Amino acid sequence: MIPKILVTGSGGQLGKCIKDLDEGLLNIQYVNSSELDITNKRQVECFFEKNKFDWCINCAAYTAVDKAESDYETAFKVNVQGAKNLAESCKEYRVKLVHVSTDFVFDGASNKPYKEVDDTNPIGAYGDTKLDGENEIAKILNEHFIIRTSWLYSEHGNNFLKTMLRLSRDRDQLGVVGDQIGTPTYAKDLAKAILHIIENDLSDYGIYHYSNNGVASWYDFAKAIFDITNSSIQLNNITTAQFPTPAKRPHFSVLDKTKTEITFKLEIPYWRDSLIAAIQNIKNE
């Protein structure tokens, strides 16, 4: 029997990537915040009571990292209260939950890839609320997968790839930070991994890390984009200090994917290979 799946936050890039892969073959109901406000406990309860789901993929999140510093209340409502509401309804109606989290739960002080068991220590409001959301889910619901990811991009929405493509058309030169290290993640690869969990009805619940394989700085990421697209823009390698932002960024947030690869039997693509595929998809559109 094909499982019935709820995707919250379907207007975001991950939700749209799941929809791209779905092609109408899966039994998925997609909802955005106007159709289901996950911060409204009663609305969530009624929605789950009315619709009998087997799985919920929570793509809904407050992801404006800098804005979260001055709008903590909204970030908390979505990332903590919203996650809690979903977990409670999932528990009541026996729904398995896949919840998407972030590398921002770490402080970036490490010099080796972060494992799922490593100590968390967010350095900003966004990371704080995402970690609190993880903890609420873990307290309430056993049947959950929390998947931390990093540097998400795709053909959809606003993201680093699309910003770089736009700037390469508008500018002669550009400075990009070279001292923040992580891994770009193609949202379509993450979507495939999530659907793999559901389609195989996996039950090794807990926290997992998923990003593409390899290591890069934001400068490396931008350079790869411009190399692949044969852009003539001049790219300058700058420091975090030269590009201050309201929210601090982890200097190092590479995620260790060993547990994910072994448990789910997944081959995770190298970041540059996925970037080439994403850029080709944008060209085809």
- For the annotated catalytic residues, the residue numbers are 126
Please state, in angstroms and rounded to a whole number, the distance separating the CA atoms of residues 192 and 266: 10
Per-residue buried b or exposed e for 34-48, using 16+ beta carbons within 10 Å of the residue's own CB: eebbbbebeebeebb
Q: Which pair of tokens denotes residue 53?
A: 């789901």
Residue 83's nearest CA partner among 145, 138, 136, 12 is: 136
